[in-house]
Amino acid sequence: SYETLTEKGTSWTVVTPIIFSYKVTETHGLLDPCNATLLTGHAHEPQTSADTLRIPSKPIKRFVVVDQEVYRIYGSQITKYFEVNNVTCKILALPTTEENKSMEMALKILEELNSFSIDRRAEPVIAIGGGVCLDIVGLAASLYRRRTPYIRVPTTLLSYIDASVGAKTGVNFANCKNKLGSYIPPVATYLDLSFIKTIPRRHISNGLAEMLKMALMKHKELFELLEKHGQHLLDSKFQSDSSVFSVSSQSASRSTRLAIVTMLEELAPNLWEDDLNRLVDFGHVISPALEMRVLPSLLHGEAVNIDMAYMVYVSRESGQLTEDEKNRIISCMVGLELPVWHQACTMELIQSSLQDRLKHSGGLVRMPLPVGLGQAIFNNTSYEVLTSAYEKWC
């Protein structure tokens, strides 16, 4: 800190560097009782399961929140995992849907956590589910005793490449998406693609929208992978078949890796969103209002894709995309089985979303728009361009 003296008195300016370090780890067989990752993988120097899991003096405790649909499929495996490893645990299965993404749900978690009682330094809370589950549990953990470490285990494709790698937590409030929240990253995120095999096809499309977002903003190769293999990824649910070098295993691992790496490149240097020019906001200018307006009929990625499709027309109209590029992008979206238009996305909704963005981004819309395939600019587009793009889009 440094001191400044003025006629009116003394002031101290405090500069505190806050550094977050967290792990994002790909693993296989996360719920196999022999795999210690879930219990010890967050430690800076992971010990062997024999060293760490059977300390007789102090039983290990874990508080686990699981989405109830995930619990229906994996509940017995989760329970067995902790039983075999002699862990005292409380498993709380909750309906973590967008409609329930509220402070009430976070408080319910906190009441249960408080009753169970954990060592807030050594016993991280574990969240297993989709993005909504990870967001609510992250917020609850960030509030409990000001900050309790937590672990994310994403079970949907969307959360696998999006919610899992950032620091944002949150709940909906005053009919606005994620209006309450914090920037507290998990101590670790564990990625296991095998969870994807039990999610419905529509939810895989939903996750592909966020992958396409990163492709259009930052990575032409990722776009070409989704364009060429999107249908195959949907059919195979990102699972490898028996042939190690199969198209499905290569395209699944390459595309998820590129999506995660590009997402981390964008998020890590700007964890608290101090820089308001954010490429990851592509598809997130109009979609929050659209998603809340039509709940629960659109999934998050579907709303994002509708926003992106409109913005592709805006980009074309302002000369950033060729007609061929625009058509390739829209065809790719259709190939990924994503909606490219919605009647509730009116010009009035678009205008109010842009006005709202102006209020929260320092007086500039700072709209990320694709330039060609795999690059972007930030553009404050004229009303005329927005309107003519809207008419062509419709």
Closest CA to 96 of 62, 140, 61: 140
Spatial distance between the Cα atoms of 354 and 358, rounded to a whole number of angstroms? 6
As given in the structure block, the two tokens for residue 34 are 């022999």
Q: Which helix (H) or strand (E) holds 51?
A: helix 49-53
Determine the pLDDT at residue 204: 98
For the ranges 223-232, 240-249, 350-359, which has the lowest average pLDDT? 240-249
Determine the pLDDT at residue 275: 86
Spatial distance between the Cα atoms of 361 and 130, rounded to a whole number of angstroms? 28
As given in the structure block, the two tokens for residue 362 are 């320092």
For the ranges 49-63, 132-146, 168-182, 283-297, which has the lowest average pLDDT? 49-63
Closest CA to 362 of 271, 266, 272, 274: 274
Q: What confidence tens digit (pLDDT) does each residue in 1-33 have?
A: 889 999 999 999 999 888 889 999 999 999 999
Determine the pLDDT at residue 358: 84
- pLDDT tops 80 at residue 49: no
For the ranges 44-58, 98-112, 118-132, 199-213, which has the lowest average pLDDT? 44-58
Mean pLDDT value across the chain: 93
Determine the pLDDT at residue 243: 56
Spatial distance between the Cα atoms of 369 and 379, rounded to a whole number of angstroms? 7
Q: What confidence tens digit (pLDDT) does each residue in 82-123 have?
A: 999 999 999 999 999 999 999 999 999 999 999 999 998 899
- pLDDT tops 70 at residue 57: no
Closest CA to 26 of 210, 156, 259, 189: 189
For the ranges 109-123, 134-148, 193-207, 263-277, which has the lowest average pLDDT? 263-277
- pLDDT tops 80 at residue 273: yes
Q: Is 237 a catalytic residue?
A: no
Determine the pLDDT at residue 357: 87
- pLDDT tops 80 at residue 242: no
- Annotated catalytic residue within 8, 23, 61, 168: 168
- pLDDT tops 60 at residue 244: no
Mean pLDDT of 342-365: 89
CA end-to-end span of the chain, whole Å? 56
Domain 202-393 superfamily per CATH: Dehydroquinate synthase-like - alpha domain (1.20.1090.10)
23-198 and 202-393 share one fold: no
Q: State the DSSP code for 148.
A: -
Which pLDDT band holds residue 248 (cuts at 50, 70, 90)? low
Rg (CA), the chain: 22
Mean pLDDT of 164-184: 94
Determine the pLDDT at residue 43: 87
Mean pLDDT of 121-128: 95
Determine the pLDDT at residue 363: 67
Strand bridging mode 367-370 / 376-379 = antiparallel
Mean pLDDT of 362-388: 90
Q: What is the CATH number of domain 23-198?
A: 3.40.50.1970
Considering only the C-alpha atoms of the chain, give the largest distance between any 2 of them, rounded to a whole number of Å: 77
Domain residue limits, the chain: 23-198, 202-393
Global pTM reads: 0.92
Determine the pLDDT at residue 81: 98
Determine the pLDDT at residue 45: 61
- pLDDT tops 80 at residue 137: yes
- pLDDT tops 70 at residue 56: no
